[in-house]
């Protein structure tokens, strides 16, 4: 494909194939919230479990946690979110729209969309004021400030406030990490670009507690580790880069941050952030809660560990993978759209297709194979429509392999396997398909798309 992949193409594919829908669509939707359909759920599950595998399952030094979404509001005072998790905002008194004061160059005037806010004589912008991004809610029956609480804007704080529990009960000592996946919520003022900036997203964060003297080494280790994870799951290296933040760009808690950026259709943008949070969070919670969050060694040495944090959302990974995998090509004078996803990410691993759906023998063999394969993998049986259309449907959802049961199968018990990327076909004995698929899904994969 020579044309650039646009966000519109991704949105349209997601809609057409039931990956993602605008949330509460029959009521006109709700700005920048989305619902996931069948294939979206399957792909998200794969991303989550591959992250968890790399973070927890394959390591000895990281344990899992699942903390609450609504925490004691004092957590957010201690973390600095109540005072500082804000964006500067201006209102236009003429068109009644709201804009990020620091992003006016990316916004459109409500009356004249070809202009920026403030560029027309009619624009009447207020002074900038700080707007807190946390969603506020009420806990219990009283509706006053004493019952106010927040939906978490990051999962990280749930980890810090459990530091002592994990240290004691999981019998850990630095360096060790705590990993968590869960929903976070931000009342973003300028959401958009599909799933890239949404108000409700699933974060995958890991807080790695280390002796202060080792913090820089671990920070660099985690930047490399996470960068390589994206390469492993097929993102093209030419579309990925590391970008270290300058001092004035860093968050209030960070002493060093590197963004792993992907070349999205909107340009190079943050996919994942890796930060050295120092001892900021444990010190803040120690001061605000009175509970000492520190490590005390067997020999009596004590210190507040530094924290290295890789943090990302499933949404940003999902969009990057879709953009990277999306391809259009003409094969034998017919156009096809194909999602060249890593097989481990693909929502469906294989399709089982009887060539002639009216042929009872073919259907029986195809059903038998489907029942065998579905015990180990998510596979799909499809007997609806012409074989070419069925292949194209599978290409669009990124299914790496298709097994076709045809006339020859009835004679010699072999099936055709079609490769999504190369379109190569070979014949396999029916009884060997399950083992072949296990092996094929385990092979390293790299994108056949041009860099
Ligand atoms: N605990 C650190 C933290 O939350 P962040 O840079 O604000 O840092 C971490 O967010 C990651 O969460 C980002 O790199 C991005 O992948 C994801 N993220 C943040 N805001 C998002 C949003 N509105 N929509 C989708 N993903 C978001």
Rounded distance between C-alpha atoms, residue 339 and residue 323, angstroms: 9
pLDDT in tens, 330-386: 988 889 999 999 999 999 999 999 999 999 999 999 999 999 999 999 999 999 999
Does residue 156 have its Cβ closer than 6 Å to ligand 1? yes
**What pLDDT, on a 0 to 100 scale, did the predictor assign at position 278?**
97
**What pLDDT, on a 0 to 100 scale, did the predictor assign at position 3?**
81
Give, using CA atoms, the residue closest to atom 2 of ligand 1: 311
SS3 285: helix
State the DSSP code for 184: E
CA of 166 to the centre of ligand 1 (A): 24
**What pLDDT, on a 0 to 100 scale, did the predictor assign at position 251?**
82
**What pLDDT, on a 0 to 100 scale, did the predictor assign at position 293?**
97
Q: How confident is the model at residue 191 (pLDDT cuts 50, 70, 90)?
A: low
Query: Helix %, strand %, coil % for the chain, to 5?
Result: 35, 30, 35
Atom of ligand 1 nearest to the CA of 270: 14
**What pLDDT, on a 0 to 100 scale, did the predictor assign at position 384?**
93
CA of 281 to the centre of ligand 1 (A): 17
CA of 340 to the centre of ligand 1 (A): 26
Atom of ligand 1 nearest to the CA of 186: 23
Rounded distance between C-alpha atoms, residue 40 and residue 202, angstroms: 13
Average pLDDT, the chain: 95
Percent of the chain with pLDDT over 90: 87
Mean per-residue pLDDT for 145-158?
94
Does residue 188 have its Cβ closer than 6 Å to ligand 1? yes
Does residue 180 have its Cβ closer than 6 Å to ligand 1? no
Q: Is the pLDDT of residue 297 over 70?
A: yes
CA 105 from chain center: how many Å?
27
């Amino acid at each position: 494909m020579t044309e650039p992949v646009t966000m519109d193409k991704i949105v349209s594919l997601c809609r057409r194939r039931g990956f993602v829908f605008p949330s509460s669509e029959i009521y006109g939707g709700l700005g920048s919230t989305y619902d996931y359909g069948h294939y979206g759920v399957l792909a998200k599950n794969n991303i989550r479990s591959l992250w968890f595998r790399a973070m927890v399952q394959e390591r000895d030094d990281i344990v899992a946690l699942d903390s609450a979404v609504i925490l004691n509001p004092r957590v957010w005072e201690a973390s600095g979110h109540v005072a500082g998790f804000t964006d500067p905002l201006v209102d236009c008194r003429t068109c009644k729209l709201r804009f990020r004061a620091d992003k006016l160059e990316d916004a459109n005037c409500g009356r004249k969309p070809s202009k920026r806010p403030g560029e027309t004589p009619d624009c009447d912008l207020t002074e900038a004021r700080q707007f807190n991004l946390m969603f506020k809610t009420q806990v219990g029956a009283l509706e006053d400030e004493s019952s106010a609480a927040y939906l978490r804007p990051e999962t990280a704080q749930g980890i810090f406030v459990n530091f002592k529990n994990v240290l004691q009960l999981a019998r850990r000592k630095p360096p060790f990490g705590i990993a968590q996946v869960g929903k976070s919520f931000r009342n973003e003022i300028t959401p958009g670009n599909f799933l890239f900036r949404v108000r409700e997203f699933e974060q995958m964060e890991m807080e790695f507690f280390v002796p202060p003297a080792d913090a820089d080494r671990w920070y660099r280790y985690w930047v490399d580790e996470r960068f390589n994870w994206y390469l492993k799951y097929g993102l093209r290296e030419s579309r990925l880069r590391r970008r270290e933040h300058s001092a004035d760009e860093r968050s209030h808690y960070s002493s060093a941050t590197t963004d792993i950026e992907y070349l999205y259709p909107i340009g190079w943008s943050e996919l994942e952030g890796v930060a050295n949070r120092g001892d900021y969070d444990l010190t803040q919670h120690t001061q605000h809660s009175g509970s000492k969050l520190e490590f005390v060694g067997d020999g009596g040495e004590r210190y507040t560990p530094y924290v290295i944090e890789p943090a990302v959302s499933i949404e940003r990974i999902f969009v990057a993978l879709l953009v990277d995998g999306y391809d259009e090509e003409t094969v034998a004078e017919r156009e096809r759209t194909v999602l060249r996803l890593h097989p481990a990410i693909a929502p469906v691993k294989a399709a089982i297709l009887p060539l002639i759906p009216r042929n009872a023998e073919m259907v029986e063999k195809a059903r038998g194979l489907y029942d065998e394969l579905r015990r180990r993998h998510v596979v799909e049986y499809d007997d609806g429509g012409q074989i070419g259309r069925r292949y194209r449907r599978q290409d669009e959802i990124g299914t790496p392999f298709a097994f076709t049961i045809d006339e020859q199968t009835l004679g010699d018990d072999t099936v055709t396997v079609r490769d999504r990327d190369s379109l190569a076909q070979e014949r396999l004995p029916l009884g060997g398909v399950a083992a072949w698929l296990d092996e094929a899904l385990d092979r390293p994969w790299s994108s056949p798309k041009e860099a």
